[in-house]
Amino acid sequence: MGNPLINHFMEGTKKGTDWFKTIFDEYYDYIRNYLFYLAGDIEIAEDLAQDVFMKLWENRDKVNESTLKPFLFKIAKNLFLNLHKRKKLNLEFVNSRLENIENESPQFVLEVKEFDEKLQRALSNLPEQCRTYFLLNRIDDMKYQDIAKSFGVSVKAVEKQISKAIKLLREQFDQKL
């Protein structure tokens, strides 16, 4: 049957709120998370995600269906750049492992917490491109091919950036952050 989104387009359905809701359901989490990886601030990410989808709504008749996802990621990046000047990033994720630790010694919990803090600091220090590709792959389960398509780069380029992210993370841990 194929992708329901593509079927939707193929049928030539008018791009009304039903179409928009389908797109929102499919892509909102990716865009909001990507903006969080860029901004390091969830309130900014959520506000900008609203703006991204407003922009899509305003341009719905002009958007090329085959490049919808790259279009959303590009708008997200540009809105972020437009509104937020570069500053030191401080990503603060929720760690589900920490939430789920039970019946463990305080020492173990503290070790996990320390590792978690080091990792989040190291992730914040990664260059933008390898940070976002790495997190979209690891947290959002986006395949290399999907990331490549979404950002208009080759799969090899994605592989290269993710390898770079792992290498830099390893180096930062070696430096005992």
Partner 1 sequence: MKENQDLNIIQFTQDLRVPATISKEEAWQRLEKNISNLSEKPNTQTRFPIYTFISLSIAASILLFIFYFALKQAPTKTFFFETQSSEVKKEILPDSSIIFLNANSTATFTYNKFRKKREVSLSGDAFFNVRKGKEFSVLFGGGQVNVLGTAFYVSAYSDRFISIECTEGKVRFEIDNQKVTLNAGEGIKSFDHILSEKFTVNEKDVKEKLNGVFFWQKISLAEIEELIENRLGYNVILETTLATRNFSGELLLTSPQSFLPTLAAAMNLDYTINDKEKTITLNAK
Binding site for partner 1 (CB under 8 A): 17, 20-21, 24-25, 28-29, 32-33, 36, 42-43, 45-46, 49-51, 53-55, 57-62, 71, 74-75, 77-79, 81-83, 85-86, 92-97, 115-116, 119-120, 123, 127-129, 134-135, 138-139, 152-157, 160, 166, 169-170, 173
Shortest approach of partner 1 to residue 121 CB, angstroms? 12
Shortest approach of partner 1 to residue 91 CB, angstroms? 9
Shortest approach of partner 1 to residue 130 CB, angstroms? 10
- Name which of 1 and 141 has its Cβ closer to partner 1: 141
Cβ(133)–Cβ(160) below 8 Å: no
- Name which of 116 and 146 has its Cβ closer to partner 1: 116
- Name which of 3 and 66 has its Cβ closer to partner 1: 66
Report the C-alpha gap between 157 and 154 in whole angstroms.
5
Report the C-alpha gap between 58 and 54 in whole angstroms.
6
- Name which of 2 and 50 has its Cβ closer to partner 1: 50
Shortest approach of partner 1 to residue 8 CB, angstroms? 17
Shortest approach of partner 1 to residue 97 CB, angstroms? 4
Supply 58's token pair.
């305003």
Shortest approach of partner 1 to residue 36 CB, angstroms? 5
Running DSSP on this structure, what letter comes out for residue 128?
H
Angle, helix 106-125 to helix 128-138, in steps of 10 degrees: 130
Which position has the token pair 């900008």? 48
| CB count in 10 Å sphere of residue 79 | 19
Angle, helix 17-39 to helix 68-83, in steps of 10 degrees: 50
- Name which of 3 and 67 has its Cβ closer to partner 1: 67
Q: What does the chain come to in residues?
A: 177
Report the C-alpha gap between 92 and 147 in whole angstroms.
23
- Name which of 9 and 57 has its Cβ closer to partner 1: 57
Running DSSP on this structure, what letter comes out for residue 67?
G
